[in-house]
Amino acid sequence: MYQLVIANAEVITGAASFPADVGINGERIAAVGMGLQGERVVDAGGCYLIPGGVDAHVHLQTPVAKYVSSDDFRSGTVAAACGGTTSVIDFVHPQPEQPMLDALAARRAEADGRVVIDYGLHMNIPVWHADHRLDRIAKVMAAGIYSFKMYQAYGPLCLDDARLYEVLRALARHGALPILHSENGPVIDRLRSEALAAGHTAPIWHARTRPATLEAEAVGGALELARQAGAALLIVHVSCAESLDRIAAARREGQAAYGETCPQYLFLTGDKLAGEHGERFVCAPPLRHETDHAALWGGLARGELQILSTDHCPFTAAEKAAEPGFDGVPGGLPSIEARLGLAHDAARRGLLSLSRWVEICCTGPAHLFNLPRKGHVAPGYDADLVIFDPRCPVEVSAQGLHERVDWSPYEGLHLTGWPRDVFSRGEQIVRDGEFVGQAGRGRFIAIPPVERAGRPAGLA
């Protein structure tokens, strides 16, 4: 007799799918079996039961230029939960002169009372910390941080090759996971200046000044540096076929190279920037082409890319349109709620298997970021579970979503399949699509170090 049984589901994991019941005691899964008895029983007949989604790349209540991303830790995690995501990983942004541990404490203070699901944090390594604070990595890791993010773009955040190499070396020594925003920022800055000087201020120039070649060039260079440094490396928000090719080639050489992509690079093209409200679609790297969509789906299906995150960073339509030129638009798109639904619809259309869907959205990110007890349907794991109705028709609209933003890049898109009920550590927090949990119930996930972070591709 289990405290809670989710019965009659088609369980889908990264390895297989099969009909079963799941028994839950307290916060954990106690059994996966046939005919389990429960004090409470939730019938999931006709639905999939999958591990709660893990979105390893979100930016909640995050300052960008003079704006702050419009989802705070409460509204953002509510939207995530309604979309079937039960863990997110956000970022710590240490300021100049601010010790990393202080920044971590401050960031946790922003999140802890608000989050409705569990969350982890990546630590940013800006220039100043790259130069002077690498000796603090061990302490930061002891405080529950496993992954550190660097940038090859964005002015003051941008690490040059020598600094990037130095940080990669330091992270490799400590067994931390380096993650990287990879675009050739300095050259992009020149292209932007040239475009603006020539009066090209329309949103499409955001894409024209960030060509795929400059992303791929940065990715290729960073992978060589990681090889030289003996470090693993995750390239985030891979947007184009050329970057994928570099990652796949590094993996074929045995390197511990990983890649993440996001729904916007799989469903939207740069044409959006040339249309009405083009400014809303400003994000970096920019939206690309349909040929890139096809390449990236292939990369996800074959395992050359391991995870699908959102880079969720919403701004309101008014904020997006406040400045006249593309360089004044706060960058970022909302995607946190539709991620599983979008990817399921692609699986339904044959672009990847259902197991691979679960792998890239749930199990893969939990595994890659070493989240304890997350991402799988098996005894001992946290009872983070999603009852997903594969036949539910959905028309995506800002109004229907729980994100705190008044537009959606997927507005009007018809999908089949959406989360019905969501459980976080055994507690039901979404019922029939509506949030029923409490703010602040989520917990910080302290991530322990991994024995061998720089393990070769294929061993993740």
Residues lying near its own copies in the complex (CB under 8 A): 11, 13-16, 18-21, 23, 30-36, 160-162, 165-166, 184, 186-187, 189-191, 211, 213-214, 216-217, 220-221, 224-225, 227-228, 248, 251-252, 254, 298, 300-303, 350, 352-353, 355-356, 359, 363, 367, 375-376, 378-381, 455-460
The beta-strand segments (E) located in 36-135 are 38-43, 48-51, 53-55, 63-64, 67-68, 85-92, 118-124
In the block, residue with structure tokens 């060039």: 217
103 Cβ contact partners less than 8 Å away, ≥ 6 residues apart: 92, 93, 94, 95, 123
* Of 248 and 429, CB closest to its own copies: 248
Query: In this complex, which beta carbon is closest to its own copies, that of residue 299 or of residue 330?
Result: 299
Q: How many CB atoms lie within 10 A of CB 316?
A: 16
Q: How far apart are CA 286 and CA 273, in angstroms?
A: 9
CB 161 within 8 A of CB 225: yes
* Distance in Å, CB of 201 to its own copies, minimum: 21
Calculate ∠ Cα 158-161-162, nearest 5°. 110
Report H helices in 175-328: 185-197, 204-208, 212-229, 241-252, 264-267, 271-274, 290-302, 317-320
Q: β-strand 2-12 against 17-25: which pairing, if any?
A: antiparallel
Nearer to its own copies, 363 or 424 (CB): 363
| End-to-end Cα separation, the chain, in angstroms | 36
- Smallest distance from its own copies to CB 375, Å: 8
**254: region left, alpha or beta (phi > 0 left; psi from -120 to 50 alpha):** left
Task: Report residue 150 CA to chain centroid gap.
Answer: 16
Nearer to its own copies, 302 or 391 (CB): 302
Minimum CB distance to its own copies, residue 218 (Å): 8
Cα–Cα distance for residue pair 359/12, rounded to 1 Å? 10
- With respect to its own copies, which residue has the nearer C-beta, 57 or 376? 376
CB closer to its own copies, 177 vs 430: 177
Query: Is the bond leading into 330 cis (omega within 30 degrees of zero)?
Result: no
Q: How far is the CB of 326 from its own copies (least distance, A)?
A: 19
Instruction: Please report how close the Cβ of residue 141 comes to its own copies at its closest, in angstroms.
Output: 23
Closer residue to its own copies (CB): 22 or 401: 22
CB count in 10 Å sphere of residue 49: 27
For its own copies, the closer CB: 193 or 438? 193
Q: How far is the CB of 370 from its own copies (least distance, A)?
A: 13
CB of residue 193 vs its own copies: minimum separation in angstroms? Answer: 10
Q: How many CB atoms lie within 10 A of CB 127?
A: 17
Q: Under a CB-based contact definition with an 8 Å cutoff, are residues 109 and 103 in contact?
A: no
349 versus 414: smaller Cβ distance to its own copies? 349
Least distance (Å) between residue 440 CB and its own copies:
29
Report the residue number, 139 or 455, with the smaller CB distance to its own copies. Answer: 455
Shortest distance in whole angstroms from residue 30 CB to its own copies: 5
Is the Cα dihedral 62, 226, 128, 174 positive or negative? positive
Shortest distance, CB of residue 195 to its own copies, whole angstroms? Answer: 13
CA 350 to chain centre: 23
CA nearest 183: which of 155, 151, 228?
Answer: 151
Euclidean distance between CA atoms 244 and 97, whole angstroms: 36
